[in-house]
Amino acid sequence: MSKVKVRIPATTANMGPGFDTLGMALKLYNEIEVQETNGGTEIYNNGVREEEDFKDNLIYKTIMKTIGKQGYSCKGLKINVTKCDIPMSRGLGSSSACIVGGIKAANSITGVKMTQEDIISLATEIEGHPDNVVPAALGGMVISLKVGDKITYSKVKLPSQLRFAAMIPEFEVSTALSRKVLPESYSKEDCIFNMSRAAMLVNALNNNEFNKLSLCFDDKIHQPYRKKLIKNLDAIFKESNKLKSLGEFISGSGSTLMAVISNENADEFTYCMKKFLDGLEDKWNIILLEPDLEGVKILK
């Protein structure tokens, strides 16, 4: 019976003004092993069998949807999450990792050679929007848009000097709640504000214009409404700026906060920010990350 091991990167989405459009893969990974069996399905977490109904497992549901579309018959599966470094419900693409990893695993088991476009289209169909699944599949920072059922994407040139400090609290923010707090409509001025920042962000990255990034991560579409769901956001962003961050934004729908920093300032920023976060009432963790440029990968 065929067996495959897949590595999937975390992702950060929205990235300030790029609501549901901009996303980037990060060097923080989940790994899954999937084996076809003669009968029955079992889900494991680091070798320990999960007791809940496997039919609710997103990796399992994605694999079954993928092989169903391919007309492949599978008697049973053994799914083992061997590494789970992407925290759940923290705005770092944990559900996208399950979806993209499940599709990649299913594609390997069936032997059907799906194109990148096929993988992205199916992943977006399952997830509902492309901003996390596209960078998880491709790596790097990606602009994605959906027209009908077709996903069009373009990679952004990322300067090698940039690092991303993910500040992850112990509390979660549900995607449903973070969507609920958003208004139904926006003023023309707010739309122009976001369009100008998103366009400037992409070009500033292309041209290594780091002095412009602090303006580029400003946003009036989602962050002003979601920040009330994340305790101490203003204080953390203020401290990040004081420690020479190049820009700050909410990762996905939260609760993770992201600071963009230069490589030469990375160690000092991380050390000083950790001391600041340790003084807050909630427990926070800080992880210094680089962009992942490969995307989902089958491990030998």
Q: Which residues is 184 bridged to in the sheet?
A: none
The verdict on whether residue 9 carries a ligand-binding annotation is no
Return the pLDDT at 56: 82
- Which two structure tokens, joined as six digits, stand for 262? 């230069």
The verdict on whether residue 97 carries a ligand-binding annotation is yes
- Which two structure tokens, joined as six digits, stand for 206? 């292309």
pTM, two decimals, is 0.93
Please give the mean pLDDT across all residues of the chain.
93
- Which two structure tokens, joined as six digits, stand for 145? 């848009």
Radius of gyration of the chain (CA): 19
In the predicted model, what is the mean pLDDT of residues 233-252?
Answer: 97
Residue 100 has pLDDT above 90, yes or no: yes
The verdict on whether residue 144 carries a ligand-binding annotation is no
Class (C level, CATH) for 162-289:
alpha beta
Dump pLDDT digits (tens) for 256-266: 999 999 999 99
CA angle 210, 214, 220 (to 5 degrees): 140
Domain boundaries, the chain: 3-156+293-299, 162-289
The verdict on whether residue 24 carries a ligand-binding annotation is no
The verdict on whether residue 196 carries a ligand-binding annotation is no
Has domain 3-156+293-299 been given CATH number 3.30.230.10? Answer: yes
In the predicted model, what is the mean pLDDT of residues 110-126?
Answer: 92
The verdict on whether residue 95 carries a ligand-binding annotation is yes
CA angle 117, 121, 127 (to 5 degrees): 140
The verdict on whether residue 108 carries a ligand-binding annotation is no
- Which two structure tokens, joined as six digits, stand for 159? 């300067």
The verdict on whether residue 89 carries a ligand-binding annotation is yes
